[in-house]
Structure 1
C-alpha cells in the first residue's frame, strides 16, 4: 500500500491516511481504501476500524490538481470510483470511528461522515462540505450522508453556503461527537470504537445496517444521472476557471 498504512492492535485495525502533506485523495488512494475496507469487513479476526491522518491533516479532500488534468473518460471513471467508495464505506458494517487529527474538508469530510463517530482534535482546523463555492455539484448520495448527521435543514444551508466549521462549531451542530487535545486524539478515538466493539457483534452490526438503510440505499443506487449533471458542470467554463484559480493558489 502506497497511500495508506494499516496496523492491527487487539482486533482493531488502525488505518492511517498517508499521502503527501495534506492526504489529498487520488485514484490510487481511493482504490487502496476501497480494497482495504472490503478486506477488513470480511476478516473475522478484526472487530473494528479506526481511520486517522497525519500531522495537521485528516484529508484535504480530492486531489484537484491531479483530477483537473484528467480527460473526460478518466474524469468519469474517477468519480465512479469515488462514488463506489462512498457506498462501500457507508455500508461498512463493523464499528468505524474517525480520529480527525486535523483538517477534513470536502472529501475528507465525506470519509468522516461515513463513520459511526468522529473524534476531532482541538485547534484551528476545518471540516465540512465546501464543494459548491468551488463549482462542484454534490451528488444527492453525499448530501443524504450529510443530512443523516446534521438534519435536512441544517445540511441544506451548510451545503449551499459551502460552510466550513471549526471544531467547536462542528461539535455544536453534531458534525463531530467529541473534541480532545491533539495529543489525546488516538486514545479517545480508540476508546470510542472499542466501546462499540464490546457489544455482541451480530446485534450491533445489524442494528447499524438497519439505522443506515436509507443512506445505504442512496449511496448504492444508480447515480448515472446525477453524475452526468455533475460532470456537465465540471467541464463548464465557469467551473474550470474556478478550479484553475484554486489550483494555481495551491501550487504556490
Structure 2
C-alpha cells in the first residue's frame, strides 16, 4: 500500500490514510481504500474498521493539484471510482468508525459520513463539511442523502448550498460528529468504542446496522453513473476550469512561501 498504513488489532484494523501530511485523495488512494475495505468485509477474522488520518489532517479532500492534470478519461475514471467507494463504505456491514484527527473538508467528509461514528479532534480550528459548491465540484445525490441521514434534511440542504465548513462545535451540534476530544485521545476513544461494539454478537450487530440504515440504503442510486458523468462534464466547463486552476495556483504559491 502506497497511501494507507494498516495497523492490525485484536478483532479490528486501523486503516490510517498515509499520503503526505494532508492525505489529499487521488485515484490511487481511492483504489487502495476500495481494496482494503473489500478485503476486510470478506475476512471473518476482522470484525471492524477504524479509519484515521495524520495529526491535524484526517483528509484535506481531493488532490486538486493532481486532478487538474488528469485527462478526460482519467477524470471520468476517478469520479466513477470515488462514487463507487462511497457506496461501498455506506454499505459496509461491519462496525466502521472515523477517528477524525484534524481537518476533514469535502472529500475527507465524504469518507467520514459513511461511518457509524465520527470522533473529531478539538483545537487547531479544524473544520469538516461538504463544501463542494464552494470549490466548484458537483455533489452527487447519493452524498446529499448521507448528509441528511445524520443532520436532517433542513440543515443538510442549507449547509450544502452554502458550501459551509463546520467547526467541531458546529458539527457536534448538527449531529455530524459524535464527540470532540483532544487530538491525542481521538484514536483511543475510537478504539474503546470499537471494543464495545465487538462485545455484541456480530450477526445481531450487522443485522441491526442494516435495519437502522434501511431508509438511507433504499434512497441510494445503485448506478450513480449519471451524476458522476455530470460531475466529470462540469469539471471541464471553461469558467469552472479557470476558477479551479486559479485556486490550485494560489494554493501552490502558499506552499512555496
- Range into which the TM-score falls when normalised by the shorter chain: over 0.9
Q: Which runs of 5+ in 1 are unaligned?
A: none
* Superposition map of 1:53-202 within 5 A: 53-123=53-123, 124-202=125-203
Q: Which residue of 2 aligns with 1:210?
A: 211
- Offset, 1:217: 4.1
Between the aligned partners of 2:237 and 2:157, the Cα distance in structure 1 is 24
Alignment partner, residue 14 of structure 2 = 14
1:35 is matched with 35
Deviations 1:43-87 (A, max 9, x none): 111111111001210001111111111111111111110011011
Q: CA deviation at 1:133?
A: 1.5
Contact kept, 8 Å, 1:90 with 1:219, in 2: the verdict is no
Q: Secondary structure at the match of 1:232?
A: helix
Displacement of 1:219 after TM fit? 4.2
Alpha-carbon contact 2:83-2:228 (below 8 Å) kept: no
Q: Please report how far the alpha carbon of residue 232 of structure 1 lies from its aligned counterpart in structure 2 after TM superposition.
A: 2.6
Q: Report the Cα offset of residue 29 of structure 1.
A: 0.6
1:78-112: per-residue Cα shift (whole Å, max 9, x none)?
A: 11100110111111110010110100000100111
Q: Using the alignment, how far apart are the partners of 1:159 and 1:208 within structure 2?
A: 26
Q: 1:5 to 1:179 in 2, by over 3 A?
A: same
Aligned pair count reads: 252
Cα distance, 1:220 vs. partner?
5.1
Structure 2 residue ranges without an equivalent (≥5):
none
Equivalent in the alignment of 2:44: 44
Shift of 1:230: 2.0
Distance 2:48 2:70 in 1: 35
Report the Cα offset of residue 34 of structure 1. 0.4
Structure 1 counterpart of 2:225:
224
Tell me the SS of whatever aligns to 1:44. Answer: coil
- Structure 2: distance between partners of 1:150 and 1:25: 25
TM-score, with length taken from structure 2: 0.95
Instruction: For residue 192 of structure 1, give the secondary structure of its aligned residue in structure 2.
Output: helix
TM-score, length-scaled by structure 1: 0.97
Question: How far apart in 2 are the matches of 1:26 and 1:215?
Answer: 27
Q: What CA distance in whole angstroms lies between the structure 2 residues aligned with 1:85 and 1:33?
A: 8
* Matching residue of 1:235: 236
With 222-231 and 71-80 compared, the bigger mean Cα shift is at 222-231
Q: Distance in 1 between matches of 2:193 and 2:244?
A: 38
Cα distance in 2 between the residues matched to 1:220 and 1:86? 12
